[in-house]
Structure formats: C-alpha cells, structure tokens
Amino acid sequence: MKKTAASNQRNVRIIDGIPMLIAAIILVIVLAVIGFAGSNNLRRILIKVFIYCAMGSMWNLMSGYTGMTSLGQQTFIGVAGYTVALFTAKFALPFAVGILAGGVIGGVLALILAVILFRMRGMYFAIATWVIAEAFKTFFTSWGFVNAGGGMTVAGRPDREVIYLMCLVLAVASIVVIYVLLKSKLGLGLTAMRDDADAASSVGVNIFKSKLLCFVICGVFCALGGGLYYLNNVSIYPGSGFAIDWTVSLVFIVIIGGIGTMSGPIVGTIIYIVLDEVLAQLPAGWSNIILGLIAILVILFLPDGIMGTLQKKLHFELLSQKRFSGE
C-alpha cells in the first residue's frame, strides 16, 4: 500500500484545529453521559465500539503508516486477557492492577517480539506474527497454570458503567496518541518511510526506532483493549483470546474505513459493529462470510476504503497528520 489515501493530495482542506477539538470534546462528553443514562444494550455495543476503535486505529498505525502488516495482534490481546484473569482470580488483586499489568506486559512482550520480528519484512512479518500468536495459543492450551484448555474466569468484575468509561478513555487515548505521534517529526518520518524508506533515512529519521515505538505502542494498546474486553467478558479461553478472528475484525475495520487515514478506523469500527450486530441475527457462519465478501469487494473496487475515497473525491482531510494546511 504505497500511495495511500490522501497522503499525496495537494490542495486539500484539512478539517482540524480548534473547531475539531471542540466537536471532539462535546462528542466525548455525550458518550460519557450515555454511559450512565443509556440502556444496557447501548452500553454493551458502545463498549465494543470503543475497544475495536482503539485496536483498529493501532492496527492502522502499523499497517497504514509504517507498512508492518501484523496478523498477530491477538497475541497481546490474549496475554492481557489472561493477565487480568490471573491477577484477579489467582492473586486476588484489584482489576485495575490486572489491566495495567496487562498493558505493561503487552509493551514488554512487543519489545521482545520486535527483536525477532524486525528482522523480517512484508509477508514474512505478517505470517511470523500469526505463527507467534498460534504458538501462544498452543502453549496456553497445554499450560496447567492457566488451567490449560479449560480457560479462566475473571474475579471482581466492576460495574458495567466503570468498564464503559475505561473503554471510552482507551479509545480517546488511542486516537490522541496516534494524532500526536503522527503530527510529530517522527510521524512525518513514518509517512515518508511508507512512501520511500531511503528518503526517510536521508531526512534523518531513525526508521528502526520509529517502527519500534509504533510496534510497542500498538502492543500496549491492544493489551489494554484485550484486558478490558475480557474484564467485561469475564471468561477467557486460549481459543478465544488468541483467535485469528481478532485480526480478521481489525483488518476489516481498517480496510473498510480506509487504510492510512486517521479517521478511517473510527468509521470502519462503527460500520463493523453495526454489521456485526445485524448479522448476529443470522445463523452462525454467515456473518464472517458476508464480512469477508464486503472486505474483498472493497479492496477490489474501493482500495482506499470509505474515508480514503471520500477524502480523495471531496478534497478534504479529517484529522490530518500534516502540520500546515498549505503543505
């Protein structure tokens, strides 16, 4: 995915700055209020939206901006889910400790895995991330300490409202982190790197450090998301925590929304969750078939995704990484 979305548009109107900030703050306040005033069902759906939005944005940061297509983010999700279960059920610690520990472990794990993964590129990287996730799944399935294939149950689950707020914070934090990251010098370097690795290094961007930072941040956020998801879900199994289905969802969200656009994953998440809720009425199996077909059709006919195509056609850019609109 070389020339993605609006990255090389000239004359684009960038919707950004103070008005955008005010709109975003109002939106977050409204969402927070819904957390207390809304129905249980709405809360349940929005929790999913927040978690997937955070993870999808992170997957987009990796694939869309740094060219690392990971098919193994479920490694971090599963490990964090198990961390929460272990901390609350085995060690009888508060859930917040479990969530934070999951995030820390996710970051450390990303650092360790980077040593291996950063020796690879492209499809090798993609498959290796998947193999690692499968290795974790296999290991957890036979590891007695985590009850092997029998799975674990989280203890001391807080109220749904608390989880809701934590998920909202996670989603907002992920978008803010990505926004700040991409607006920094490092972010500009990343975009340059995606388009031309040699040019980026000649500009003086340390590619290795930038990629590592992105990979670790993604690891941390996917771990936090995974921890919150399983705190909410209560039970975790190796087959669910480390399931490739996580990656399927993230890929779908980013492809549909528009890879390499900051607003794409947000739009993609909403479409994904709505579709998922609607398709859940159908017998099991149909939902993935339809999602898969939609994704393939989008890749074929709308390779820039919804936001990428809209931005190109209408010459605007929502949440741009560009610093100056005259650029």
Partner 1 sequence: MSFIQNIINGILLGGIYALLGVGMTMMFGIVKLTNLAHGEFIIMGAFASTLLAQALGIDPIITLIITVPCMFLIGMVLQSVLINRVMLQGSEPALLVTFGLSIILQDAMLLLFTADARRANVSYSTTNIQLPGGLYISVLDLVVFVISLVTILILTIFLRRTYMGRAIRATSDDTVAASLMGVSVRRTYGIAMGIAMATAAVAGLGVGMRWTFYPSSGGTYLLIAFGVVVIGGMGSIPGTLVAGLVFGLAQVFGGANYGLLVSYILLIVMLAVRPQGLFSK
**Which spans of this chain sit near partner 1 (rule: CB under 8 A)?**
1-2, 63, 69, 71, 116-117, 119-120, 122-124, 126-128, 130-132, 134-135, 138-139, 142, 244, 248, 251, 255, 283-286, 288-289, 291-293, 295-296, 299-300, 303
Q: Which is nearer to partner 1, 33 or 293 (CB)?
A: 293
Please, what is the minimum distance in Å from the beta carbon of residue 225 to partner 1?
Answer: 21
Chain centre to alpha carbon of residue 150: 27
Q: Toward partner 1, which CB reaches closer, 95 or 246?
A: 246
Q: Quick one: 33 or 135, whose CB is closer to partner 1?
A: 135
Q: Report phi then psi at 14, rounded to 5.
A: -100, 120
Nearer to partner 1 (CB atom), residue 213 or residue 244: 244
CA–CA gap between residue 5 and residue 87 (Å, rounded): 43
Helices 160-183 and 207-233, packing angle to 10 deg: 170
C-beta of 36 vs 139, nearer to partner 1: 139
Backbone angles phi, psi at 318, to 5 degrees: -90, 130
Structure tokens at 294: 């939609």
**What whole-number distance in Å separates Cα of residue 88 and Cα of residue 69?**
33
String of DSSP letters for 187-247: HHHHHHHHH-HHHHHHHT--HHHHHHHHHHHHHHHHHHHHHHHHHHH-EE-HHHHT-THHH
β-strands 235-236, 316-318 pairing? unpaired
Q: Quote the CA–CA distance of 48 and 113 in Å, as a whole number.
A: 27
Would you say 113 or 267 has its CB closer to partner 1? 113
For 145, half-sphere exposure in the C-beta direction (CA atoms, 13 angstrom radius) is: 7
User: Residue 33 or 116: which CB sits closer to partner 1?
Assistant: 116
Min CB(303)–partner 1 separation in Å: 6
Rounded Cα–Cα distance for residues 27 and 270 (Å): 15
Nearest to 231 by CA among 45, 54, 59, 102: 102
Q: Supply the minimum distance, in Å, between the C-beta of residue 69 and partner 1.
A: 6
Minimal distance, residue 320 CB to partner 1, in Å:
23
Q: How far is the CB of 238 from partner 1 (least distance, A)?
A: 12
Q: Smallest gap, in angstroms, from Cβ of residue 191 to partner 1?
A: 17
**Least separation in angstroms between CB 267 and partner 1:** 18
